[in-house]
Amino acid sequence: MQITSGLIMISVFNSCAVVKIPYFKTGYYQKTVSRLDSLKTELITSNDSIFAGFSRISITPDLKKTSKNHKDRKQNKVPIAGFGKPGGRYAAAVHDSIFIKAVAIKTGQQIVVLVSGDLLIMPPNIIDSVTVLLSREGVMRDKLFFSATHTHSSIGGWGHGLVGTIFAGKENISLEKWLTGKICRAVLDAISDLRPSKLGSGSFNGSPFTRNRLTGNKGIKNDDFNFLVVEQTGHKKAVIGSFSAHATTIGGKNIQLSADYPGYWERKMESNTFDLAMFCGGSMGSQSPVGHGNGYENAKFIGVTLADSLSSHLKKITLNEKVTLSSLSLKIILPEYHFRMTTNINFSTRFSTRLMPLPKNVYLQALRINNLIWIFTPCDFSGESAVQIKNSLSAKGYEAMVTGYNGSYIGYLIPGKYFYLDHYETKLMGWFGPTMGDYAMDLIDQMSNAIILNK
């Protein structure tokens, strides 16, 4: 009884009501828009020949070496990130190898590097270190565009705070430094591989493989599988694919490291035409996978079928030797940070930061490649919101692609109308109030228009 009373007192002391001020009347909005207006004046669009480079770096740990060299095996085993299981999960074996992959693209004097990893997210603390190290090599944050496959069966050990530890396992500083080095190496290797190239993009409908887990059959989904093909002249070929079904087919009981269905897609594409296949997690907020069978059978079914579908669409793609390229990288100011105690009551910001540190260096980025506008978001971004972006840009003659896990993580960004649902995505993972999704959509719309209008 005393323990229960104490917890109630702590909760009351550390709680506050949900703030309902319109985002466009706040200081954080005005300051962020002011930053965006400044960036617009510096926006450069190149239309020139394309050079591209590719790299692949293994991040598959040696589990035998890890367990043999330490007395306390549980303490030093590799945690598996994802699902938030009590007591955590530790890798007992490697089912399939996991990688960091990068594609560098250069037109005129502009270079951008697209980076994705077979990870739950791109861990913010690791990406902060990557950014510092690469800046010393002349590669700045505004030219780095991150994503992840969002597999729930990859390495953890990078979680901060109570919540981060539950989802990613206890922090392992050695692992963080090791992973930081791998990501830096992938970026630099891709840049050093630049060669004259051609590029094309497209999409196809993958509706049989997704469902809306937030609102069920009535919900809107983003069913598009987007892809880019990059071919070095007379040399290597790469394909980048993005899809919006969560990489959770294997399930929370799995204790083998795996890239889930994106890994099967990558391996199938690399066994056919391509030297490199890189998957970027799409607008996975509210979207679960639909396939056939259980566990790895389901992962293989979805990954291989998507690869087969893509192969049939590649015949229609035209590769261009000249590319229009421009980008915007906006560091956004966030609303007040609160974990939620109930639907209408938040924990205080101070108490919330004890559960998990406040996200820093949070970027929304927009990249134009010919008529494709690629939006990079630091979250699980709503599939329904992504459809709105796609429809808006389609009316202007452009195709859109939205991906998540862009080097920081701010939870789930969903339409405000769903914020008060008693659901995991809205309640546990809605950290910045009911208008955060609308705030992000407003910024994305402004960034997209700026990048289109700049000639």
Give the structural domain span for 163.
Answer: 54-316
Residue with tokens 């990558």: 266
Q: How far apart are CA 242 and CA 159, in angstroms?
A: 25
Token output for 334: 């966030």
Q: Name the nearest CA neighbour of 28 among 414, 369, 410, 454.
A: 410
Residue 427 lies in a domain: no
**Which amino acid is present at 199?**
L
Partner residues linked to 117 by β-bridges? 100, 148
Residue 310 lies in a domain: yes
Residue 268 lies in a domain: yes
Task: Quote the pLDDT of residue 76.
Answer: 62
Residue 150 lies in a domain: yes
Q: How far apart are CA 394 and CA 372, in angstroms?
A: 10
Task: Quote the pLDDT of residue 19.
Answer: 61
Contact 287, 261 (CB under 8 A): no
Residue 153 lies in a domain: yes
Contact 194, 106 (CB under 8 A): yes
Residue 197 lies in a domain: yes
Q: How many residues are given for the chain?
A: 455
The answer for 83, left when phi > 0, alpha when psi is -120 to 50, beta otherwise, is left
Task: Quote the pLDDT of residue 16.
Answer: 62
In tens digits, the chain (455 residues) has pLDDT values of 333 344 344 444 455 655 668 899 999 999 999 999 999 999 999 999 999 999 999 999 998 775 444 334 445 689 999 998 777 899 999 999 999 999 999 999 999 999 999 999 999 999 999 999 999 999 999 999 999 999 999 999 999 888 899 999 989 999 999 999 999 999 999 999 999 999 999 999 999 999 999 988 778 999 999 999 999 999 999 999 999 999 999 999 999 999 999 999 999 999 989 999 999 999 999 999 999 999 999 999 999 999 999 999 998 899 999 999 999 999 999 999 999 888 888 899 999 999 999 888 999 999 999 999 999 999 999 999 999 999 999 999 999 999 999 999 999 999 999 999 989 899 889 999 999 999 999 999 999 999 999 87
Q: Name the nearest CA neighbour of 363 among 326, 410, 400, 402.
A: 410
Residue 6 lies in a domain: no
3-state secondary structure the chain: CHHHHHHHHHHHHCEEECCCCCHHHCHHHHHHHHHHHHHHHCCCCEEEEEEEEEEEEECCCCHHHHHHCCCCHHHHCCEEECCCCCCCCECCEECCCCEEEEEEEEECCEEEEEEEECCCCCCHHHHHHHHHHHHCCCCCHHHEEEEECCCCCEECCCCCHHHHHHHHCCCCHHHHHHHHHHHHHHHHHHHHCCEEEEEEEEEEECHHHEEECCCHHHCCCCCEEEEEEEEECCCCEEEEEEECCCCCCCCCCCCEECCHHHHHHHHHHHHCCCCEEEEEECCCECEEECCCCCHHHHHHHHHHHHHHHHHHHHHHCCCECEEEEEEEEEECCCCCCCCECCCCEEECHHHHHHHCCCCCCCEEEEEEECCEEEEECCCEEEHHHHHHHHHHHHCCCCEEEEECCCCCCCCEECCHHHCCCCCHHHHHCCCCCCCHHHHHHHHHHHHHHHHHHCC
Residue 324 lies in a domain: no
The domain total for the chain is: 1
Token output for 304: 């291989």
Task: Quote the pLDDT of residue 217.
Answer: 78
For 182, how many CA atoms within 13 A lie in the half-sphere containing its CB?
A: 22
Helices 295-313 + 260-271 axis angle, to 10: 40
Task: Quote the pLDDT of residue 86.
Answer: 72
Task: Quote the pLDDT of residue 446.
Answer: 98
Token output for 453: 């209008």
Q: How far apart are CA 154 and CA 169, in angstroms?
A: 11
Alpha-carbon dihedral of residues 246, 250, 254, 257, nearest 10 degrees?
A: -70
